[in-house]
Amino acid sequence: AQTVTQSQPEMSVQEAETVTLSCTYDTSESNYYLFWYKQPPSRQMILVIRQEAYKQQNATENRFSVNFQKAAKSFSLKISDSQLGDTAMYFCAFRGSTLGRLYFGRGTQLTVWP
């Protein structure tokens, strides 16, 4: 079975600083996608970034980047130049080619303070 673990229930960072959110996963599949979603107070789930497992290059989207370590089954999210609007719950998610459904971690609540 697939599992996704986020070991940091809460984190905080000062505006303009950098923060890294951790995620580990367990799977026997070789082809899969990993995602980070954010859920601000509005509760709308927003896709932040995705990583294809067969790509060695880490994905980057503006201030958001990932550190994907396939052998270690680790997928961390780095947010640079944090902004107040980054305050949200962040969910790590896995989707494999065999079972197809999305598996989510329990989330990390990130607070950005001035």
Which distant-in-sequence residues (6+ apart) come within 8 Å of 40 by Cβ? 46, 85, 87, 88, 89
DSSP code of 29?
-
**Which is closer to another protein, CB of 77 or CB of 107?**
107
SS3 category, 84? helix
User: Least distance to another protein from the beta carbon of 67, Å?
Assistant: 19
Q: According to the binding rule CB under 8 A, does residue 31 interact with another protein?
A: yes
User: Least distance to another protein from the beta carbon of 100, Å?
Assistant: 6
SS3 category, 86? helix
Letters for 50-89 (x = contact with another protein by CB under 8 A, - = none) are x---------------------------------------
